Amino acid sequence: MGLGRKLAIAGIIALTAGVTATPATAAAPIGWKPCPTAPGVECGTLTVPLDWDHPDRGTTGIALARHKATDPAHRIGSILMDPGGPGGAGAGEVQDGWSLSPRITARFDTVGFDPRGVGQSTPVRCGLDEITADHPQLPKNSAEFQQLVSYNRALGRSCRRITGPLAEHVDTRSVVRDMDAIRAALGDEKLTYYGVSYGTLMGQQYAEAYPDRVRALVLDSNMDHSVGSTWDFLRTETVAAQESFDEFAAWCDRSKSCALHGQDVRAVMADLYSRAERGDLGTPDDRLDPVALVGLVSSNFYGPTWEKLAKNMVGLRAGKPAESGFAISVPSAFGSIFCSDWRLPITSYPQLDGYRRALAHVSPDLRFSQLGWTSAVGCAGWPGQVRNPQHPLSIRPGTPLLLLNSRFDPVTPYAWAARAAQQAGAPLLTYDGWGHAAYFKKSHCVTDTADDFLLDGTKPGGSKHCPAVSPDGQSRMDGPKPPSTVLF
């Protein structure tokens, strides 16, 4: 490592530790330049230690994108943003136009970052042969369970072999320290942050680690990192998925725009699931197994896009291909990150099959949460250490946080947000509607409340509930542009 790089890293460590650095090392190490494919947006890279506990063991780069405040005379500072995932690229999303409301973009520089191992931040890469190898996601016996475990182990080893040591240092605790380095490099005394989905875990743990450096954090669609068991994780995810299906079925009953209006939606779903189990759902060139079917259905709960889902179910029943607009596969970084943050042991086929049978009682229509299931079983046999295992939040009282969550969120259950808010001692603003990422449901109540908190710290009063906006109404309203891809 050259002397200049050593000085820059020393400066970052000093700044994030609250130590006053010398002018030579305190200079912001982000070299902003115009982004080549995003007019009006600047791109830069921040160099941070690969291993924060051993900063002499190399470095990695964090990709950033910044859209400057449109009212610079009244600029407050920067707002750091992350779109979730794990594996969502915040810098890439900002380059594509992701932003909060005009009230926020006027007063803040919008700064997106690609977390370590993601996007342009030296992405975790895994072997194509290992990724595409055949493996059962719903094992039917012990032999298939061992095949799944072997697949996960081989995939994880390929990520480590191809990516190098970084693959073992992409846990959220490491990302939190990167976030504080970004804050310092931006010149902000305290952090203003909007995180959605898995980005809420980053915000929660930042508030734990650096309560004195929090200006305002808005955490939307919340993870609950206190979920302590594999069963509790799978059950709560499945409850949320089933509740979303219930809301879809109720809409079909009352809405003539539903392609299944007047029909038994649950019977249609049961028939499609049975055909997926038999292997004759979809076209000969594109068969859907049960995991793919449930993933296809659940993907339409994010918006929600109920009309599209109903048409897809009609098409699948007739043997036509589905138009999902949703990638069933996950990014290569997902396993490396998720399996570093969660200890969800699954040690045998009988245990896994017991979970599957019990979940079918929790969700008689979907049988399980596709994202919850694949996340948990994807860590069975995964090599490497769980560096950031679950624990109840321990945040100093008075730390300025505001949590948002839809009442019917398909992947970050409302119960998770309620528990996270209770543990954090922070207010929870409930959007009494549907979908993932409440800020982007075109509810003026939600956006105005969140914006007031970000601008001047005003906390919600009254009932802390915002009424639902129908999906039909959302399509006729303008609003801030959501990120293009979120999982958790």
Question: Does residue 291 register a pLDDT over 90?
Answer: yes
- Quote the pLDDT of residue 24: 32
Question: Does residue 290 register a pLDDT over 80?
Answer: yes
At 284, is the pLDDT very low, low, confident or very high (cuts 50, 70, 90)? confident
- 10 Å CB burial of residue 393 (0-12, 13-18, 19+) is buried
Instruction: Determine, yes or no, domain membership for 405.
Output: yes
Distance between CA atoms of residues 331 and 488, nearest Å: 13
Kind plus residue range of the DSSP H or E element containing 80: strand 77-82
Distance between CA atoms of residues 322 and 213, nearest Å: 48
User: Phi first, then psi: what are they for 112, rounded to 5°?
Assistant: -100, 150
- Quote the pLDDT of residue 3: 39
Average pLDDT of the chain is: 91
Distance between CA atoms of residues 18 and 10, nearest Å: 12
Please state the rounded mean pLDDT for residues 418-441.
97
Instruction: Determine, yes or no, domain membership for 22.
Output: yes
Any idea what the CATH number is for the domain that residue 414 is in?
A: 3.40.50.1820
Return the closest-CA partner of residue 77 out of 46, 110, 101, 34. Answer: 110
Share of the chain above pLDDT 90, in %: 83
Distance between CA atoms of residues 480 and 430, nearest Å: 19
Distance between CA atoms of residues 182 and 66, nearest Å: 12
221 touches 418 (CB < 8 A): no
- Quote the pLDDT of residue 25: 34
What confidence tens digit (pLDDT) does each residue in 314-347 have?
999 998 877 654 433 333 789 999 999 999 999 9
User: Phi first, then psi: what are they for 135, rounded to 5°?
Assistant: -160, 140
* Full domain range(s) for residue 51: 3-124+170-226+391-474
**What is the CA 183 to chain-centroid distance, rounded?**
21
Q: Around 438, how many Cα atoms within 13 Å sit in the side-chain half-sphere?
A: 36
What confidence tens digit (pLDDT) does each residue in 98-124 have?
999 999 999 999 999 999 999 999 899
Lowest average pLDDT, out of 10-24, 160-174, 257-271, 358-372, goes to 10-24
Distance between CA atoms of residues 210 and 191, nearest Å: 9
Q: Is the peptide bond before 86 cis (omega within 30 degrees of 0)?
A: yes
What confidence tens digit (pLDDT) does each residue in 341-391 have?
999 999 999 999 999 999 999 999 999 999 999 999 999 999 989 999 999
- Quote the pLDDT of residue 118: 95
Which residues lie below 8 Å from residue 26, measured CB to CB, with a gap of 6+?
A: 11, 14, 15
Please state the rounded mean pLDDT for residues 440-459.
96
At 475, is the pLDDT very low, low, confident or very high (cuts 50, 70, 90)? low
Instruction: Determine, yes or no, domain membership for 483.
Output: no
- Quote the pLDDT of residue 323: 66
- Quote the pLDDT of residue 26: 41
Return the closest-CA partner of residue 88 out of 472, 437, 443. Answer: 437
**What is the CA 364 to chain-centroid distance, rounded?**
26
Instruction: Determine, yes or no, domain membership for 363.
Output: no
- Quote the pLDDT of residue 283: 79
Enter the DSSP assignment of 87.
T
Provide the residue count of the chain: 488
Please state the rounded mean pLDDT for residues 210-221.
98
Distance between CA atoms of residues 370 and 355, nearest Å: 13
Instruction: Determine, yes or no, domain membership for 300.
Output: no
Q: What is the DSSP string of 415-478?
A: HHHHHHHHHHT--EEEEEEESS-GGGS--HHHHHHHHHHHHH-PPP-TT-EE----HHHHTTS-
| Residue with token string 């045998």 | 348
What confidence tens digit (pLDDT) does each residue in 41-80 have?
999 999 999 999 999 999 999 999 999 999 999 999 999 9
Instruction: Determine, yes or no, domain membership for 465.
Output: yes
**What is the CA 85 to chain-centroid distance, rounded?**
3
Instruction: Determine, yes or no, domain membership for 440.
Output: yes
pTM of this structure: 0.91
Return the closest-CA partner of residue 313 out of 302, 326, 301, 324. Answer: 324
- Quote the pLDDT of residue 483: 85
Q: How many domains does the chain have?
A: 1
Enter the DSSP assignment of 22.
P
Please state the rounded mean pLDDT for residues 161-188.
96
Helices (H), 300-428: 306-317, 333-341, 349-362, 370-377, 414-424
Instruction: Determine, yes or no, domain membership for 279.
Output: no
- Quote the pLDDT of residue 6: 47
β-sheet bridge partners, residue 60? 48
Question: Does residue 287 register a pLDDT over 90?
Answer: no
At 152, is the pLDDT very low, low, confident or very high (cuts 50, 70, 90)? very high
